Structure 1
Amino acid sequence: MSRSWERKVRNNMNQLNKQRKKQGIQAVVPNAERSDIYKGRSFIGPILLLLIVAAYALLDGTAQASQSNLYWVTIGCYILLAVVMLIRRPYLKVGQDYVQTRKFTGDRRLRADEMKAINVQDGYIVIERHRGGNWVFARITNRYPTTLMAERLKSFAQQNQVPYNVK
């Protein structure tokens, strides 16, 4: 019964949002779908990649290699990868009962029951998992707003009974 009720609410919300969009009014977002997103900026990865490209170009810049088309394609691909890494901003999305972030292989979601603890210290936030590696969000490496994130994660931890440690 609850699934059919949720489906009815979702359908009515979609119809209401379509009407509001036609009228030029902002769409209504139900409470269950609200989430906070904290974006960072990745500088270290692209800079290291550009340094590798520069070293590759300087060390392997012999006359034969630099005249090959494949040599320039390789350098161009590394530069393109550095630009893509710079444009794709890392983020932490805190929902009602989950957190989500972007890893190198794609977006990853972690539910509250999969968390062991949330550890906060100056400039760092570590989300410990029961299985797998910890998620680390640092102000130095990825320019995250860690103070704002810590406040939101504190309320998230209280709401979902996840241990919250300040070091």
Structure 2
Amino acid sequence: MSRSWQRKVQKNQEQINKQRKKHGQGPLMSAKSGKAALDTFKGRSYLMPAFLLLFILFYVIVTINSDAFKQADTMFWVTIACYVVLACLFLLRRPYLSVGSDYVRTRRFAGDRNVYVSNIKAINTQKGYIVIEQHKGGNWVFSRVMNRYPIEPMATRLKAFAEQHGIPFTEK
């Protein structure tokens, strides 16, 4: 089906659903029904912000104790402010794992990445860790210690995902 036809169908569905809502009736079907629901598991990154704050503290101590430091140097304070902002960004930008119908998605440094079923070699779980092995590229490791992921619910959802698509799943 062409994209223009899909857009026309979606537009008509939205119009009909608006009319049905005015008359007190439920929608026929969702206009966005092509998208499957995602199961998303969010973590929290504490180690990278803590490392950056320790680095800032080290930088301040070394710079203030040196003889070459000028008290009126604004670039020093701009550098400190930039590192604090970077630490806040790492703290607020939560890592996640989303499991879709035929792919797994997570956030990496360069942005969101997907791994489709055809590229997943195996899924391994052990206490506190989940490893998604790929045919091409590096393995994805989700850790309770590093990013505070909810490992047990993730493992049960990934086990169902692996069984659905015939991917080897091992628990250690």
Taking structure 2 as the reference length, the TM-score comes to 0.83
Determine whether 1:144 maps to 2:145: no
d(CA) in 2 for partners of 1:21, 1:43: 46
Q: 1:3 to 1:154 in 2, by over 3 A?
A: farther
Q: Select the structure that is richer in helix.
A: 1
d(CA) in 2 for partners of 1:19, 1:88: 40
Q: Please, which moves more after superposition, 152-161 or 41-50?
A: 152-161
Determine whether 1:49 maps to 2:52: yes
d(CA) in 2 for partners of 1:18, 1:101: 35
Gapped regions of structure 2 (runs ≥ 5): none
> What is the letter of the counterpart of residue 135 of structure 1?
W
Show CA shifts across 1:35-87 (max 9, x none): 10000000000000000000000011146344211111001000000000000
Q: Which residue of 2 aligns with 1:118?
A: 123
Q: Which residue of 2 aligns with 1:36?
A: 39
Is the contact between residue 32 and residue 96 of structure 1 (CA under 8 Å) also seen in structure 2? no
Q: Secondary structure at the match of 1:78?
A: helix
Determine whether 1:132 maps to 2:142: no
d(CA) in 1 for partners of 2:171, 2:74: 54
Q: 1:16 to 1:141 in 2, by over 3 A?
A: farther
1:131 to partner: Cα distance: 1.1
1:17 to partner: Cα distance: 6.3
Is the contact between residue 124 and residue 138 of structure 1 (CA under 8 Å) also seen in structure 2? yes
> What is the letter of the counterpart of residue 118 of structure 1?
I
> What is the letter of the counterpart of residue 100 of structure 1?
R
Gapped regions of structure 1 (runs ≥ 5): none
> What is the letter of the counterpart of residue 77 of structure 1?
C
Q: Secondary structure at the match of 1:33?
A: coil
Q: Which residue of 2 aligns with 1:157?
A: 162
Show CA shifts across 1:89-135 (max 9, x none): 00000000000000011110110111110001111000001111100
Is the contact between residue 49 and residue 78 of structure 1 (CA under 8 Å) also seen in structure 2? yes
Tell me the C-alpha RMSD between the 2 structures. 2.9
Is the contact between residue 66 and residue 72 of structure 1 (CA under 8 Å) also seen in structure 2? no
d(CA) in 1 for partners of 2:133, 2:91: 27
1:56-135 paired onto structure 2 within 5 Å: 56-61=59-64, 62=66, 64-135=69-140
d(CA) in 2 for partners of 1:8, 1:58: 63
> What is the letter of the counterpart of residue 46 of structure 2?
F
Which of these two proteins has the greater Rg computed from alpha carbons? Answer: 2
